[in-house]
Structure 1
Amino acid sequence: MNVRRSAAALAAATVVLGAAVPAVAATPSPAPSAAKPVGLYGTSDPTYDGVWRQSLALLAQHTVGVTPADKAVAWLTGQQCANGAFAAFRADTAKPCDAKLMTDTNSTAAAVQALTALGGHRAAADKAIGWLKSVQNADGGWGYSAGGASDANSTSVVAGALTAAGQQPAQVRKAGKSPLDALGKLSLPCGGDGGGAFAYQPDKKGALAANADATAAGVLGALGEGFAATAAKASAAPVCGGTPGTLAPADLARNGAAHLARAVAATGHLTSALPGAEDQPDYGNTADAVVALAAQGAAQQAQKPLAWLRQNAAGWAKQSGPAAYAQLVFAAHAAGADPRAFGGTDLVAQLNATGPAPRAAAKAGDRTAGADTAEAGKKADAEEKSGSDSGYSVWLIVGVFLVAGIGIGFLLSGRGRKRQP
């Protein structure tokens, strides 16, 4: 998920390409965390992506019928600030959030998607949604941090969170503009270079440049889908069309899917480029493209990149950790593949092994555990919403734990620059 970064972050990004990470603002790099919070997925420093990778891991587990460990969920809930926002990582959750702590839309929206899927966390999700609405920009979108210029990635992950929380992104407006309006402004017109794609942000002159990462995110955002999107009914191959400024959300998604389909047609994968380095396959964005294509209805066009991931992505995921495994789970789920037999790799088992042992794990083809968890969560949410916000205080206290996370190498690799497909 193509943004501005500090020099230190850019250097770190050379470690692994394509891992799932949030957009990161151009702020001074915080000191690495020495704490090792109990319950967190991954084995390296969580400073830059703790909440992000935890949210993706929990959501991916739920998607395949795995009930996460209580301490893993408690770690995530314990990261939330009193105003509803999440930062990338809080080493000391006993200390109240203050103005020095950089909360962000990406971590907050990812946490909403995970917590609403798990159920039983209505108060936490509602507070997070309230904060996201409070920092919506006048163009209808969101930047990585509150007040930052809107970008396609952040706007899209928030749109997915709104849908997960039972709200319609088109109805969430600031100054009359919705996130779909913001995404429309970032869509490139058909016919030109990168036609149909989404730009991350306009450049200093207001020009738009096609960005594969932003496009995969933008397709899901226009559809109002989250990370764990399911396949839409298969339709004809997407073709870019329509008049800029008059496109409906479905048109934006179709045009973006058409761009992605073209980008993966030759090799089956997207490509990343770092300054001074040779172009390399981008595993994470390729997985995101599979989800976007399937969610738009381009099931046939999703098969080649899916096959490429099956053959090539196991080593990348092993090196990159839980968020990468989650991305592959989402890709398999969206495209109708078995994540437990993905090119000879059991993605679910590998994901589970990066954190505390889950409470329950459904067998292949058995979604009962996941269904039971979701039903129990919905019941808890209903009970929580019908009562008072006192549950929020209890919830906040429950989550104070300490463990080790993952480092900034692959954290900052996936969304740190404006890549050309």
Structure 2
Amino acid sequence: MNVRRNASVLAAATAVIGAVTAPAVAAGPSPSAKPALPSGLYGSTDPTYDGVWRQSLALLAQHTVGVRPAASAVDWLTGQQCANGAFAPFRADVSKACDAKVMVDTNNTAAAVQALTALGGHQAATGKAVAWLKSAQNTDGGWGYTPGGASDTNSTSVVVGALTAVGEKPAQVRKGGRSPYDALMKLALPCKGAGTGASAGAFAFQPDKKGTLAANADATAAGVVGALGKGLVVEPAARDEAAACSDSGSLAPRQAAANGAAYLTKALAKDDHLMSALPGATDQPDFGNTADAVVALAAQGGAGRAAGPLKWLERNSSAWAKQSGPAAYAQLVFAAHATGTDPRDFGGTDLVRQLNATGPAPRTATARSGESGESAESAKGDDSDSGNIWWIVGAGLAAGAGIGFLISGRNKRKRP
């Protein structure tokens, strides 16, 4: 779910507009060009491609640590919903009804469902959103980023999280006789066989044009959580389960999750973090994907399984989160929560305070799960968001294709 994802998908964008050459270096918008940001919105960058995604993650992270978000922040999110229940990444004029030009998508809708369900009191909004998600389900049981798009692991998994959040049983949500788990199993690579090797047990984002599955670390982290029927916020596994790759018998969701965890464990073994590369740029650490991997490993096998990458994030993620904004802080909060780590002392960084500083001051912060309560924090940090990949992708798409393709916030085609 990178700051991302969560996120139109770079891959999905490429599929829609054809080959688009992303700039090797792209700067964020200059201060003078910054648009006027809506009241209540978290983050300081153009919300066109990730507004609902980053808002949903911010509110969900605040709830997870016992912070009551500002009413204006919640109202901003609920106000983004279309009459049919779906969400787009951002609607500048919410007084205007959604029409066919408003590009709603499954990722933003599912993230909003998870946030609003956690906050409580929004059953009407979440009910309409879930009904829309069900209407967008593909006959293979999964979901694509946009309705009618080919199913992908990330979109299917974030919808599974939304279904679980509202009390639905994903296995019973079917289209064409198939459930989301059927779609995920078709996107899981085997442990042995031609072309597996280092990719054994991973999830692919989508099959390529030839139907070939390629391992994708971001998709694998999402797939592990989705196969376990969990959402963006997870508790560590109750017992330590083996992350061993196995092809024995018919592949079941729980085994697919174990296979994916085995792949992530191997991918993290050398440096305790995953790598990514923007087109035309050199490889660099992928902080968001590493945070997602921590959540996935903890969900599948317990907090101890994620100890190495968690410590790496504690040592190295501060500058990335400050640059990337609220969704990044939320991802780190989710990683801390999944491992029982104090988010108010994450390698010396108070993630809660930093997250709160990217938007309207919360109403209160109450003690939860042994954490100390604190007053609402209103200090504003330097949340430039200038490193947000989605501004780069959005600018590249607009310049290269002349269209606005929606980006929820997840880079689905990152390399392990």
1:330 to 324, 334, 340: 334
2:222 match: 217
Give the RMSD, CA atoms, in angstroms.
Answer: 2.4
2:183 match: 182
Inter-CA distance 263–155: structure 2 relative to 1 (3 Å threshold): same
2:399 paired with 1:420:
no
2:269 match: 265
Letter in 2 for 1:299: A
Aligned counterparts of 1:189 and 1:107: Cα–Cα separation in 2:
30
Letter in 2 for 1:107: N
Cα deviation for residue 369 of structure 1 reads 7.7
1:207 to 212, 228, 249: 212
Letter in 2 for 1:349: R
CA contact 2:141–2:183 (8 Å) conserved in 1? yes
Q: Which range moves more in the overlay, 42-51 or 270-279?
A: 270-279
CA contact 1:232–1:294 (8 Å) conserved in 2? yes
Cα deviation for residue 362 of structure 1 reads 2.6
1:394 match: none
Inter-CA distance 329–152: structure 2 relative to 1 (3 Å threshold): same
1:4 to 7, 12, 17: 12
Inter-CA distance 407–121: structure 2 relative to 1 (3 Å threshold): farther
2:112 match: 111
2:164 match: 163
2:244 to 217, 239, 248: 239
Gaps of 5+ in 2: 375-382, 394-408
Letter in 1 for 2:281: A
Cα deviation for residue 113 of structure 1 reads 0.2
Inter-CA distance 126–364: structure 2 relative to 1 (3 Å threshold): closer
Letter in 1 for 2:340: G
Aligned counterparts of 1:224 and 1:254: Cα–Cα separation in 2:
13
Equivalences, count? 372
Inter-CA distance 300–343: structure 2 relative to 1 (3 Å threshold): same
Letter in 2 for 1:289: A
Letter in 1 for 2:110: A
CA contact 1:67–1:369 (8 Å) conserved in 2? no
Inter-CA distance 8–343: structure 2 relative to 1 (3 Å threshold): farther
Cα deviation for residue 235 of structure 1 reads 1.4
2:296 match: 292
Cα deviation for residue 122 of structure 1 reads 0.3
Aligned counterparts of 1:306 and 1:419: Cα–Cα separation in 2:
20
CA contact 1:46–1:89 (8 Å) conserved in 2? yes
Give SS of 1:103's match: coil
Q: Percent identity?
A: 65
Cα deviation for residue 277 of structure 1 reads 1.6
Gaps of 5+ in 1: 17-31, 371-403
Identify the structure with bigger relative contact order (alpha carbons < 8 Å, sequence gap 6+).
Answer: 1
2:395 paired with 1:411:
no
Give SS of 2:337's match: helix
Aligned counterparts of 1:242 and 1:52: Cα–Cα separation in 2:
36
Inter-CA distance 90–147: structure 2 relative to 1 (3 Å threshold): same
Q: Which range moves more in the overlay, 291-300 or 59-68?
A: 291-300
Letter in 2 for 1:327: Q
User: What TM-score does the superposition give when structure 2 sets the normalisation length?
Assistant: 0.84
Inter-CA distance 365–185: structure 2 relative to 1 (3 Å threshold): closer
Aligned counterparts of 1:330 and 1:196: Cα–Cα separation in 2:
24
Aligned counterparts of 1:13 and 1:167: Cα–Cα separation in 2:
44
